[in-house]
Each structure stands twice: as structure tokens, then as C-alpha cells.
Amino acid sequence: MCPSRRTCRKCWQRSSAERSTLLGRTGWPLTTILTNIDALCVAPRNIERQDYFGSFLELLEKQPEVTECRAVEEMLVPDVKMNFDGIKIDLLFARLALKEIPDNFDLREDMLLKNLDPKLMRSLNGCRATDEILRLVPNIDNFRLALRSTKLWAKKHGIYSTSLGYFGGVSWAMLVARTCQLPNVVPVFLKRPDTVNLGFQVWDPRVNVQGRFDLMPIITPAYPQQNSTFHVSSSTRKIMLNEFNRGMQITDEIMLGKAGWDKLFEAPSFFFKYRYFIVLLVTSNNTDDLLEWCGLVESKIRYLIQNLERILHINLAHVHIKVLETTRDGMKTEARHVRRKQLNQYLDPNLLKRERKNQRLLRRRKCANDLLRRN
């Protein structure tokens, strides 16, 4: 270790290459065109968090395959976001009190969490939950196929985003693993909570008052048990339940031979579904600042939704999960209230044309189905 107690560039290169392990947080090969990769970098005790977000980040930025690389340290689970050869990757960091990390290292041991700070614990918990899920499902191949389809459906229908109040990858994985219908007020448990007590707060509404207000609890199976859907709001809950019901209706039609599987994965029309919109314009003077600025604004949108839900005259606040690029200068954020006919000032005309065409097709199908039912 360096005399200054900080890891220099050479030490980091040697330690990260030989003594740290990159672990897939999802744990299953689900990479599609629409899927990001969540990964966990486990480092030995001589690598500190400031080294990871400092010298290691500089090394990543120099790689020719890496673009849009930035550190997000202020999040609940800090990570490094980047685009590696066209694939978006969220790389988390965990430092363990070990001299070295062997290749066959098992993170399921609960005592590894002893004396860890909450941020490191949360970074490890995603990978630990994944390992537990794979251990608890009876047929991994069927689970992978079902989860891949479910995640594709969720992204197509705009209900896949933890930061915006929808379900994230781990939550969808636990729902698929559970594979049973439960009332919304009952939390989803894959197994009974562990009796381990290392001082971390676990999800227990009997003790923790905050847990009593969770709308759709889905509890991670690994210690410490956490609610993976604490971001869900009243609006996102309504939106997801509507999509669940709509997906169930389409699935019934598919099972009866009235429709094909393509219909299930058709993206609904968002911009022609409502009359009034709030457009958030996030602008910056350069690309690097825009990435960080846009990420920060996106992480705060859920607070805007919570404030809108308190207004009596607003029944639903529906967030579009995709960032739509435009060309404006100046590092600032603007919120504008616009009508549907004004969206052409902010969106690509081709996108609006596709949405309008899809909306017309949906109306024709609905009319045709109504006629068939009457006959």
C-alpha cells in the first residue's frame, strides 16, 4: 500500500486487475437492446471509495470503448455510469475488509456485512439478493425466459424505472420469482426474513413507521431485508396496476387465439393519451456537464410527482421514462406547462407521427372488438 495511505494509479491498476472481482448484479443473461447491465466491483481493503471515484474513473474515461462516463456519488447507492461499446453499464463499488478477493468469492455470507457503512451494504445487497433469487427459484431457465419477457414488456409500456417511482430490475425479478397473485397491500416475500442482527435496519413496519406507508412492498431476500419499491407513489402505482390489467386482458386474448404475442409488447401511445403536459427542459453548455446535470434532475423528478399528487385537481401524474434529446444552450432547468398541440416545439415530429398512427390503430382495433362483441 502507498505510504500516503491513498492508492496511487499503479496500485489501483494492480489491485483492481488481480484482486477485485466484477460480479453481474443481475446474475442472469438478460441483455437485450433495451437492457442495461448492472455490475458490482468488489475490492479489497486497500482500495477506498475516493480511489474508485477518482483514479479508477480517470482510467475508465481513457478507454476508447467508454463514453458518457460519470460518477454519481450523491445517490442512495453510488455508482459509475458509462456506455461501454454501445452498452450502458451501472458499475457499483463495494470495499471489503479482506486482503484480497478470490475469483470464486461468495457474497452470500452475512458476516461480510459486519462493520460496513450503509452505502457499501446497499451496493452489496443487490448482488446478494440476486444470488438468493436464483437459489430460491425451482427452474432457472424458465425463470430467465419469463423475466426477460417481463422486463421487455415493462420497458415497452414505460413502467421500468426505480428512480421515477416504478419497479426496477430487482423488483421485477422478485415478482417473477414469486409467481403468485397477492393483494397489493400484502408484501411479496420470497422467504422468511433472516434472524441475523448486524445492526442494519431491516424492513419491518411493526418497528419502522416509515415502512407502513409503502404502497407496493417487495422485500429483498438477502439480509438486511429492504423494500426495493419504496419509490413507488400513488400515481405510479395506478399506472402500473392499469398496465397489469391491460396486459392480463391481452394475454387472455392470446391464450384464446384472438391475438399474437406481438400485441403484448406494443408500446402504448403516451403523448396522445393526455391533454396537458409539464415539459422539463434540462440544458447545459457542454456534453459532460449535461450528463451529470440530467442525471441529477432525473433523480429529483419523483419529488415533483409527490408535490403534484398533493394538488386536489390532479388525478394522475404520469412520467415518461425516456429522456428526449433537444438542442438548447445554458446550464439550467425549466418547467413549462403545455398543451398537446404545443408538443411539436419540444419533440421530434417523427415521434409524434408514430404516436398518432399508433393511437389511430388502437382506436380501430377497439371499435372492431366492440363490433365483434355485439355480434
Binding residues for Mg(2+): 38, 90
Residue in 37, 131, 146 with CA at minimum distance from that of residue 83: 37
Distance CA 91, CA 289 (A): 20
Whether residue 74 contacts residue 80, with contact meaning beta carbons closer than 8 Å, is answered with no
Whether residue 294 contacts residue 286, with contact meaning beta carbons closer than 8 Å, is answered with no
Please give the sequence-ordered ranges of beta strands (E in DSSP) within the chain, or none if there are none.
21-24, 37-43, 66-72, 79-84, 87-95, 276-283, 332-339
In the annotated binding site, the residues are 38, 90, 151, 160, 169-170
DSSP 207: T
Distance CA 243, CA 360 (A): 19
Query: Prior bond to 224 cis, omega within 30?
Result: yes
In the annotated binding site for ATP, the residues are 90, 151, 160, 169-170
Dihedral pair phi/psi, residue 40, rounded to 5°:
-125, 125
Distance CA 297, CA 15 (A): 35
What angle is formed at CA 171 by the lines to CA 166 and CA 177, rounded to 5 degrees?
140
Distance CA 99, CA 251 (A): 52
Distance CA 160, CA 268 (A): 14
Cα–Cα separations (whole angstroms), residue 124 to 51, 69, 239: 18, 22, 30
Residue whose C-alpha cell reads 419523483 in the numeric block: 302
Cell of 110: 452475512
What angle is formed at CA 79 by the lines to CA 156 and CA 303, rounded to 5 degrees?
60
Whether residue 271 contacts residue 355, with contact meaning beta carbons closer than 8 Å, is answered with yes
Whether residue 16 contacts residue 1, with contact meaning beta carbons closer than 8 Å, is answered with no
